[in-house]
Structure 1
Amino acid sequence: MPGRVKGKTLVAKDEGDDAHGVLVKVYGEETSGAIGVIEQPFEPRAMLPPHVHQNDVWLYILEGEMHVRVGDEVVQATSGCWVLKPRLVPHTMWNASDEPARLFEVYTPGGFERFFQDFGDLLAQGPVGLDEMNRVGEAHGIRFFDDWIPEITAAYGVRVMGA
């Protein structure tokens, strides 16, 4: 997949810096720190471990469907839906279907998009636990936890990514 030329006015559909399958479409430094944008595929039956971070995240579903838990609220988002994951509010997301999903995430402020390179480097080494994920995530202002995992994996038949 073609890379992205930083500072371009247009970012084409097939452009982006590949961070282990996640495409960085816009870097925070290109917007004076205002936003960062990634495009991410999401495997069927996969769950991102619950976490909190220091920025707001707007999730836009391009294809497929995703479940998102923010605090105590669970929503099912389909293609064309937006979901807000506010800063410092515990949240997680998962694809409970047998079909892949694809989504955009918009980070405000920007900068968090750089997490995906470090996280991908860690996952490339094999299965990882929350301690390793938190070690890598600390520099990016994200903290993972294991609350909700047994409940969600049992109810939706998903597995935790990276485990």
Structure 2
Amino acid sequence: MRGRIKGKTLIARDEGDSTNGVVIKLYGEETNGAISIIEQPFEPGLLLPPHVHENDVWLYVLEGEMHVRVDDEVVKATDGCWVLKPRRIPHTMWNAGHEPARIVELYTPGGFELFFIDFEERLRQGPVGLDKMNLLGEPHGIRFFDDWIPDLKAAYNLRVVGE
């Protein structure tokens, strides 16, 4: 476990492990795998590649706005909104606004936060395409795909994370 304070009741605003802008606030191993929590900024025009994974994700928008597609449903979430991205259901998210967004994600079960550590290490080597993201994601139970990317990029003038 990197830099965490096991057994603490309070996790302060400035605490957590930062990895490529993502701040891991709570590791799954600290909750016996029940939940993990991250906080992250999300730049305008940024698209997370569509994907499926083996945990539920609750997204909470602290600031700004995020669009989320879950299967065929698209929602726009603003400050104070929660969005469920269920396990094994294709989904993606993007910031179509003009300002950065800041979000919190809760993963149940926990453990997915470790993907961000692996992703940061790989990103240091240069751009990361979907094939490489899938290699990174496999041990974390996530699979990326590109079916929606061309339409979303065109409709919202987006760029894909890792490009």
Band of TM-score, shorter chain: over 0.9
Q: Does 1:136 align with 2:136?
A: yes
- Do the aligned partners of 1:60 and 1:104 also contact (CA within 8 Å) in 2? yes
Partner of 2:70: 70
Aligned pairs, how many? 161
Structure 1: 4+ residue segments shifted above 3 A? none
Give 1:104-115 correspondences, 5 Å limit. Answer: 104-115=104-115
- Do the aligned partners of 1:4 and 1:11 also contact (CA within 8 Å) in 2? no
Give 1:98-109 correspondences, 5 Å limit. Answer: 98-109=98-109
Distance in 1 between the 2:69 and 2:137 partners?
20
Partner of 2:58: 58
- Do the aligned partners of 1:37 and 1:106 also contact (CA within 8 Å) in 2? yes
Distance in 2 between the 1:79 and 1:120 partners?
27
Partner of 2:47: 47
Partner of 2:34: 34
Structure 1 residues not aligned, in runs of 5+: none
Structure 2 residues not aligned, in runs of 5+: none
TM-score, length basis structure 2: 0.96
Distance in 2 between the 1:146 and 1:34 partners?
30
Paired AA for residue 91 in structure 1 = H
Q: CA RMSD in A?
A: 0.9
Shift of 1:98: 1.7
Sequence identity of aligned pairs in percent?
Answer: 73
Partner of 1:117: 117
Paired AA for residue 89 in structure 1 = I
